[in-house]
Structure 1
Amino acid sequence: MALTPLDRALIAATQGGLPLVPRPYDAVGAPLGLSGTQVRQRLQQMLADGLVRRIGAVPNHYRLGYVANGMSVWDVDDARLDALAPRVAALAFVSHCYRRPRHLPHWPYNLFAMLHGTSHAAVRAQADTVAALLQDACRGHDILYSTAILKKTGLRLKE
């Protein structure tokens, strides 16, 4: 499905984030001759059509006080992973959770869950909760802590 000129204009207007004003969709729409309602409706339709995958906030965990950010990696029995992974993903402290292929013999992990805490001890406690949920389906795990903040950006259209 091709982007319409309006779709391109909306993506260009929002690709750097929504303006931090009381009525951001009105602010996005004004230069395009659209109301905030029209902007929301078109973005919703773009989501429904699959032109846009998601619209969401990208928090800066460090500024929120979550200075210990760890990707927990788990070696989970493949036969039980499909049943257990949604339960891990549903934990309130897990921001990302997904299955990845193993790369044996060096990388046995097939389940990744991003954990955020105010300290390494807090993240380890969260990992203990995940381990208790996985029980004997888990053969091992590790936590890989972030050491730098990478710039997170969404879709960028080339002019």
Structure 2
Amino acid sequence: PQRRAPAVPAADRPLAALVEQGLPLVARPYDLWARELGREPEAVLATLGGWLIDGTLKRFGAIVRHHELGFAANAMAVFDVPDTEVDARGEALAQVPGVTLAYRRARGEGWPFNLYCMVHGRDREAVHAVLERAAVSAGLQSVPRSVLFSCRRFKQTGASRFGAPVLESAHAHA
């Protein structure tokens, strides 16, 4: 059984709220957080390090706004891979340049696919080229697959449990 991470103490909830908002795009993001919280950068880093050790924080993720970078064609490719091979094929798929995400999912009723990967490209032809290269590289060229192109964008956000903190700097800009 997986152990539960300890609860975030009330004193650390403002830091948790900042983590949920994502790293600020500055040279020293932890220093900025420390200033906003009235703490030393070393204390912020020590708290984050403790959270990583005890499982409170698993990782920092990134949301890439690919449309703004000129990548207008986006596709999720799905593959029907034998269960005994899916991990190895997925690892190989994840190594292919141009594959931005690869993961395993359980098959659903009427949905035989268990390996997924995301590819972003400037146009559909570029996406198909990456997918063909990826399929060959990962040994997936002969398995059933489908390519699902995005036709609509939704706002991507991370989980939010702590809400936005009320900080001095927030009031200074109001």
Within-5 A mapping of 1:5-154: 5-104=10-109, 106-135=110-139, 138-154=142-158
Structure 1 gap ranges (5+): none
Query: Following TM superposition, by how much is the alpha carbon of 1:136 offset from its aligned partner in structure 2, in angstroms?
Result: 6.2
Q: TM-score, normalised by structure 1?
A: 0.86
- The more displaced of 144-153 and 64-73 is 144-153
Identity of aligned residues (%): 37
Instruction: Verify the 8 A CA contact 1:18 1:28 in the aligned structure 2.
Output: no
Query: Following TM superposition, by how much is the alpha carbon of 1:86 offset from its aligned partner in structure 2, in angstroms?
Result: 0.8
Query: Following TM superposition, by how much is the alpha carbon of 1:137 offset from its aligned partner in structure 2, in angstroms?
Result: 7.4
* Equivalence for 2:168: none
Q: Which amino acid aligns with 1:129?
A: R
Residues in 2 aligned to 1:137 and 1:18: alpha-carbon distance in whole angstroms: 39
Pair 1:117–1:155, CA change in 2 (3 A): same
Q: TM-score, normalised by structure 2?
A: 0.80
How many residues get paired? Answer: 158
Structure 2 gap ranges (5+): 1-5, 164-174
Please identify which structure carries the higher strand content.
1
Q: Deviations over 1:14-47 (max 9, x none)?
A: 3222333333212211132212333233222212
Query: Following TM superposition, by how much is the alpha carbon of 1:63 offset from its aligned partner in structure 2, in angstroms?
Result: 1.1
Structure 1 vs Structure 2 CA RMSD = 2.1
Instruction: Verify the 8 A CA contact 1:69 1:117 in the aligned structure 2.
Output: yes
Q: Deviations over 1:46-70 (max 9, x none)?
A: 1221101211322101111211111
